[in-house]
Structures are given as C-alpha cells and as structure tokens.
Chain A
C-alpha cells in the first residue's frame, strides 16, 4: 500500500537557524510531490511542486528551498529561518486517482 512519511511532527527553531524537513513515499513510483504551508487560520499554500528527480517548481518567492534527490524523497530546507516561516507544513504526493498527505510538521520559529 502507498504510504507517506513526514518528520518531525513538531519543531521549534530559533530565528536564523537552518531547517530541513523530510518526506518519503512508499508503495509508488514517480509520484508528483508537493510541499504546502498553512499559516494560522489560513488555507493551504503550495510552496513547491516536483514531477521528477531534480525537477522543482517554486510557486511563491520565499526564504525556503526544496530538493528531490531520489524519486520518493522530497526535502524542504532553509538556510536561515524567519519568524514568518512559522506554520504547519504538509508534504503530499499525487497520482491520477488520488492525493495523499503526510501528517504534517508544526514549525514554530522563536
């Protein structure tokens, strides 16, 4: 069966520190992969989208970057976190018949 793993579940980081959130998918190959952010009380904002290894589309200019070093691995990074980077981050993958989500990471930048 297809599963998606996202970690960590919660994270508290100081301003200016680096960030690395990882997402891995099992049970499928060549999925489309996504990183979303949800600020408090807001909807889901698409940050990055990938259709294959090394292929990343950035939807909004920001302090974050994404990489896809392997087919089923998607990493969200930042060199220096800002207070405005706080939020709930969701990894997702999709095929024609569905979209599947990780459990999310609650990031608090202090």
Chain B
C-alpha cells in the first residue's frame, strides 16, 4: 500500500527566506511523486514530479525537491520565498498500477510574511 504524509499543516516564513515543506511517503514499489500548488479559489497546478530519473527535481517558480529513498522523503524547497508563493501545497504519490489510486497528502498552507 502507498501513503503520503505532509508533516506540517502550516508553514510561515518571511519574504526572501528559504522555504521547506516536508513530505514523507510509504510505498512497496518505486513511487512517482509530485508536488502541486493550489492558490486560493483556484485549481491544482503541477510544480514538479519525480519519476525515477534524477533524484533532484527542479520545478516551476524556483521550487525544487529531492527524492531520498533512504529517508522516504520528498521535501519541497525554495531558496527565497516570494509573496506570490502563499498557497496550499500538496504532495502526491502516483499509482504504480492501473488498479491503484493517486494518494494525496493532507496539504501544507504556506504563508509569507512581508
């Protein structure tokens, strides 16, 4: 079975400081992992994805994530936060077979202080 845990429900950082959103997963198979962002009253936008290629994945808007199999983690980072980064972020595990479901984390709300 697959599962995903986002360790923080809310993260608040100052503009210009680094961002770290934590995600741990559990999977019996090599997972595909994703980060999505949802701005208020909007749909979900794909930030980046890991699909068993390079373990350090770069995404849009300066975000990146590193797949660490030994730690079963896929944390999302950004060197310098911008006010426009304030949103809800979801870590997602994609199914390893057609019979499996995509699994969402519970979400992390990122707030940016001026």
How far apart are the CA atoms of A102 and B101 in the complex, in Å? 17
The yes or no answer to A53 lying at the interface (CB within 8 A) is no
The yes or no answer to A94 lying at the interface (CB within 8 A) is yes
Total residue contacts A-B, CB cutoff 8 A: 60
Known A-B contacts A34-B102, A51-B99; the reply to A97 vs B42 at CB < 8 A is no
> Per a CB cutoff under 8 Å, which of A32, A44, A90, A100 touches B98?
A32
Residues of B within 8 A of A44 (CB): 90, 104, 107
Which residues 95-114 of B sit at the A interface, judged by CB distance below 8 A? Answer: 95-99, 101-102, 104-107
Which residues 85-108 of A sit at the B interface, judged by CB distance below 8 A? Answer: 88, 90, 92, 94, 96-104, 106
How far apart are the CA atoms of A98 and B94 in the complex, in Å? 6
Residues of B within 8 A of A109 (CB): none
Kindly report which residue of chain A lies nearest to residue B96, judged by CB atoms.
Answer: A96
Q: Which size bracket describes the interface of B in this complex?
A: 20 to 34
Whole-angstrom distance between the Cβ of B16 and the nearest chain A Cβ: 27
Q: Which size bracket describes the interface of A in this complex?
A: 20 to 34
Query: Which of B44, B49, B92, B107 has the most chain A CB atoms closer than 10 A to its own CB?
Result: B44
> Per a CB cutoff under 8 Å, which of A32, A88, A103 touches B101?
A32
Whole-angstrom distance between the Cβ of A99 and the nearest chain B Cβ: 5
Residues of A within 8 A of B34 (CB): 98-99
> Per a CB cutoff under 8 Å, which of A36, A88, A94, A100 touches B95?
A94
B residues with CB within 8 A of A: 32, 34, 36, 41-44, 46, 49, 51, 90, 92, 94-99, 101-102, 104-107
Given contacts A51-B98, A94-B94, A96-B98, 7 further A-B contacts (CB under 8 A): A43-B106, A44-B104, A92-B102, A98-B94, A99-B102, A103-B43, A106-B41
